[in-house]
Amino acid sequence: MSNNTKEQLHETILNSDEYFHSLLVDIKNAKQTIDLETYIFNDDDLGKRITRELMHAAEKGVKIRLLLDGIGTSAWCDNIKLMEEAGITVRVFNPLPLKLWQLTRANCRSSFFVKMLRFFTKINSRNHRKTCIIDSSIVYIGSINIAQTHLSVQQGGAGWMDVVVKITNINTKELQFAFDIAWYGFSLSKRIKKMFQPVASNSIFRLNYSRRQRRLFYRFLLKRISESRSRVWMTNAYFNPEYVLLRKLTKAAKRGVEVTILLSHDSDVFFMPLVAQAFYSRLLKAGVNIYEYLPSILHAKMFIIDDWYCVGSSNLNHRSLIHDLEVDVNIQTKEAKKILEKIFLQNIKKSHKISLANFKKIPLYKRILSQLLLYLRYFF
């Protein structure tokens, strides 16, 4: 399905401030279509700016579809009627049953009973993707929600560490197909059809809306780590790896590969640093380098394994591996790769390196709690 080449693509790596500035400009200049999906869309100052620009675009005749998540954007509804009056179509992925504004805009277009049944069977399945497709030629993929907290402190935010890639001159059909499946719901016929379709091995997009895709891309990641020669650099917000992945990382470190994992010292999900700490001892004993980012919350998701670079929304946790819709992009251009490498090394300088000695200084009750949390790891 994918026919993108390095010669066609132009990739720009953006931080949060750059991303929102660029996104607002591209929304303003849109001519035909905007498909925006996000886990969180806050009604803060930034959210209002995005909303106004989307409404202006819709009033000019741009066809706009906005896909929100039922839990991620559970409290957001104040401007929805104004947006729809302006011509924007809004749908909610797996809505909450007590939120009427969500149920009436559910991506599952069926009876109330079916919606309730779907909620209770799919409550743990969320749309964690953060993508925007503009005029079928511009794509944004990364870790940034529509939320003020991602902005720098100078711009009124909390200075979260995030990364987005903007891609132009790209064939968006594969990404558009993934959006459409989430938009219209996962019908049985589409599921069966997709089961027998080959997964494009040359695609730059890493999508996981089918079980087959999840298995293949997870195996691909494990294979990359197993065959790594010089480095495995990972930046991740929520670290809760499966034991197979943990074993691959420790084996790589033991055979001399530089395995470096950059995590967040603080988190918007308060218990996630404790969950991550449950794996520190085993990783450190194998020779893995662990750093905790100090300046702010680290929310980025980046992988650098030898010359393979990947950016997106996926975490190394059970939610991304099993439950949530995610999208990542394999970076193609040398310029973008150099920038990602520079970002990683700069972030390491701003981080605290964990050693076995200072890990043992963590209070005993915290280490016990981190182990107890592993019994619930399937849910996060």
Which CATH architecture is the domain 208-379 placed in? Answer: 2-Layer Sandwich (3.30)
pLDDT digits (tens, 9 = 90+) for 43-75: 999 999 999 999 999 999 999 999 999 888 876
- Name 237's Cβ contacts closer than 8 Å, sequence gap at least 6: 143, 263, 264, 267, 272, 297, 298, 299, 300, 301, 315
10-184: CATH class: alpha beta
Taking the C-alpha atoms of residue 96 and residue 69, their distance in angstroms, rounded to an integer, is 9
Name the residue ranges covered by the structural domains of the chain: 10-184, 208-379
Question: Taking a C-beta distance cutoff of 8 angstroms, is the pair 252, 272 a contact?
Answer: no
Per-residue pLDDT of the chain (380 residues; tens, 9 = 90+): 455 555 578 999 999 999 999 999 999 999 999 999 999 999 999 999 999 999 999 999 999 999 999 888 876 666 788 899 999 999 999 887 766 666 677 766 665 666 566 666 667 789 999 999 999 999 999 999 999 999 999 999 999 999 999 999 999 999 999 999 999 876 656 655 655 566 565 789 999 998 899 999 999 999 999 999 999 999 999 999 999 999 999 999 999 999 999 999 999 999 999 999 999 999 999 999 999 999 999 999 999 999 999 999 999 998 999 899 999 999 999 999 999 999 999 999 999 999 999 888 888 888 889 888 888 877 77
pLDDT of residue 211: 86
Backbone angles phi, psi at 118, to 5 degrees: -65, -40
pLDDT of residue 375: 82
DSSP per position, 71-110: TTTTT--TTHHHHHHTT-EEEEES--TT-HHHHTTBSS-S
8-state DSSP, 154: G
Retrieve residue 27's tokens: 């929304």
pLDDT of residue 247: 98
Retrieve residue 128's tokens: 């964690």
Fold match, 10-184 / 208-379: yes
pLDDT of residue 117: 63
Taking the C-alpha atoms of residue 235 and residue 264, their distance in angstroms, rounded to an integer, is 9
Q: Which of 59, 60, 55, 63 is nearest to 34 (CA)?
A: 63
* pTM reported for the whole predicted model: 0.92
Helix axes 16-29, 45-59, angle to 10 degrees: 20
Coil, strand or helix at 270: coil
pLDDT of residue 100: 65
Taking the C-alpha atoms of residue 66 and residue 172, their distance in angstroms, rounded to an integer, is 17
